[in-house]
Amino acid sequence: MNELKVRRGMTHMFSLVLVICTMVISASTDFKALKCPPSPAQCQYDVSVFDEHFYFVEDLKFVIVYRGTYLSFKCPEGVGFESESMPRFSSAVRVQLLVLTHCAVPAASFASALAALNVTVLDKLILREPRGDLRSFHMTGLGVSALEVRAKERVALEEEALGQLGALAELWLVGVALPEAALLRLPASLLYLHIESCNMTEFATPALRRLSSLVHLRLYERTLTVAPDLSAVPSLRSVSFIAPLNGLPSSNTVKNLTSQNCNSLEILGECGALSRLEVSGAGGAPGAGWLARCPALAELVLSDTRVDALPADLVRAAPRLRRLAVRGCRLRHLPPDLLAHTRDLQELDFSNNRLETLPEQLLVSVRALRSLELSNNRLTLAGARAALAPTSLHRLVLDGNPLGDLCQAGSDALYPDGLIERVSGVSALFEMRALRTLSLARTALTRLCADWRRDMRALARLDLRHNNISALQVHARPRAQTPTHPAPTRPHAPPRPPTLTLT
């Protein structure tokens, strides 16, 4: 047996050595592909760690990562990669993705500077914290379909620079000085556009109209206050804004709208195709008829917006709604008929509000509800009664509410399987037998209710953290003996339920 263990141990060790050797050989192979130019070039190879290679070029340390179709150069602060002493590939290398970090922009085009190193970029170029402004000639000869510029210090973009990229489909501009004239010359081929921290104040309609193929638009600008006219881009499907806009821009083709920090919740434009709306940190509350023109809405998320009360018709015009979340909004009351027209609702979230009671009729019409999240409100057991009625629920979260004891009085009983438990008849959750997840952390519980184990056979996770529960049920196995009287049995007793996960 010991000999067998030794052999197995040696086998595992051999496998580990083989893996390490394979990694070293792989790194060595990549290293051989990169060579320093002959003297008098000032280039010295230092070391390789897996696919990361370190060189000293003119006494400055460069880090080069190469793995198949991926290549990156990390330059010393503000130094370029076009020195004649730079290591280069011995044969032509075509990579899908090239990342240049901290590198100074070349004196000529990126394509020619990379060609000197035997490198061609096929798909995407990422410039991280580039040093120097981007001119038109820098983009000459680049055939990439994606460009990402992430500047830490402001980088100027020449008006005609991006016009050189006729095949560009994806563009990320972060921290770039973006003049209005440059917006008017964005490639018409764009499908995805992300602009962030570029000091934009307006995205003019003529510039938008030029982007006739754009599908996804993301504008994250603290200075952008005027909502763009999205009807100018019929191809748009998804938009996202982090900006103090004067409303929520939409159009009759937009399906997904996300907005943060807008000053108004007024929907600007048509929203007949809108299926998902997520708003956070808004400066106003929704009024009556807010979503009256959005009948296709399937998901609505409103968070971190001060809303003392919701309009009764909030989702009346959205019969297809599947998910509704209003969280962190300081809600105190809910309209009784809020969900009367959302019979297909599956997920409901009113967490992190100030609710003390739920209307008795709130969930009566919602027969398909699967998940209910009410954590961190002020609900007592009496105030939460409406939440304990839906028999369709698979997930119920009531963390952080002062519920107290959920069990009723009962007596001890010993069952044939040796289980001793407090038989309390039924608890406040007795109808919720489809539950799979029940979360009751920080709810002032003092004991477990017997029917949670006995009747909730689907229950797989029970969270009871931060409660004052002094004892759980006891499993007792008495010595085998012939009983003088038959032990009490549970009529039609089901098999013992699966083990619960108590966290």
More confident residue, 77 or 281: 281
pLDDT category at 286 given cuts 50, 70, 90 is: very high
Q: Is 406 exposed, middle or buried (0-12, 13-18, 19+ CB in 10 A)?
A: buried
Residue-level pLDDT at 420: 41
SS3 156: strand
Residue-level pLDDT at 180: 87
pLDDT category at 472 given cuts 50, 70, 90 is: low
Contact between residue 109 and residue 82 where contact means Cβ atoms under 8 Å apart: no
Q: Is the pLDDT of residue 46 over 70?
A: yes
Residue-level pLDDT at 130: 95
Percentage of the residues of the chain whose pLDDT score is greater than 70: 84
For residues 151-177, give the mean pLDDT: 93
Residue-level pLDDT at 78: 78
Residue-level pLDDT at 188: 94
- Other residues' Cβ atoms within 10 Å of the Cβ of residue 78: 12
Q: Is 430 exposed, middle or buried (0-12, 13-18, 19+ CB in 10 A)?
A: middle
For residues 21-38, give the mean pLDDT: 59
Contact between residue 272 and residue 249 where contact means Cβ atoms under 8 Å apart: no
Q: Is the pLDDT of residue 492 over 70?
A: no
Q: Which residues contact 353 (CB under 8 A, 6 or more apart)?
A: 326, 327, 328, 329, 330, 331, 332, 376, 377
**What does the block give as tokens for 342?**
């959302």
Contact between residue 58 and residue 79 where contact means Cβ atoms under 8 Å apart: no
Which of 233-242, 285-294, 481-490 tops mean pLDDT?
233-242
SS3 173: strand
Residue-level pLDDT at 466: 95
pTM (2 d.p.): 0.83
**What does the block give as tokens for 175?**
């921290």
DSSP character string of 385-430: GGGG--TT-SEEE-TTS---------EEEE-TTSEEEEE-S--TTT
pLDDT category at 398 given cuts 50, 70, 90 is: very high
Residue-level pLDDT at 478: 45
Q: Is the pLDDT of residue 479 over 80?
A: no
SS3 63: strand
Q: What are the Cα distances from residue 501, in Å, to 129, 364, 403, 459?
A: 48, 31, 21, 9
The candidate with the shortest Cα–Cα distance to 363, out of 393, 325, 333, 400, is: 393
Residue-level pLDDT at 471: 66
Residue-level pLDDT at 77: 82
Residue-level pLDDT at 454: 86
pLDDT category at 469 given cuts 50, 70, 90 is: confident
Q: How high does pLDDT run on average in the chain?
A: 86
Residue-level pLDDT at 153: 87
For residues 368-388, give the mean pLDDT: 96
Residue-level pLDDT at 203: 94
Q: Is 45 exposed, middle or buried (0-12, 13-18, 19+ CB in 10 A)?
A: middle
Q: Is the pLDDT of residue 477 over 90?
A: no
Q: Is the pLDDT of residue 24 over 50?
A: no
For residues 352-366, give the mean pLDDT: 95
Residue-level pLDDT at 86: 93
pLDDT category at 502 given cuts 50, 70, 90 is: low
Domain ranges of the chain: 244-367, 370-475
Which of 153-162, 220-229, 484-493 tops mean pLDDT?
220-229
Q: Which residues contact 299 (CB under 8 A, 6 or more apart)?
A: 275, 276, 277, 278, 321, 322, 323, 324
Q: Is the pLDDT of residue 74 over 60?
A: yes
- The 3-class SS string of 337-392 reads CCCCCCCCCCEEECCCCCCCCCCCCCCCCCCCCCEEECCCCCCCCCCCHHHHCCCC
Residue-level pLDDT at 249: 97
For residues 401-408, give the mean pLDDT: 90
Residue-level pLDDT at 6: 44
CATH architecture of 244-367: Alpha-Beta Horseshoe (3.80)
For residues 217-234, give the mean pLDDT: 96
pLDDT digits (tens, 9 = 90+) for 85-125: 999 999 999 999 999 999 999 999 999 999 999 999 999 99
More confident residue, 472 or 450: 450
More confident residue, 454 or 226: 226
Count Cα neighbours of 274 within 13 Å in the Cβ-side half-sphere: 27
Residue-level pLDDT at 26: 42
CA dist., res. 337 & res. 456, Å (int): 30
112 phi and psi angles, rounded to 5 deg: -70, -40
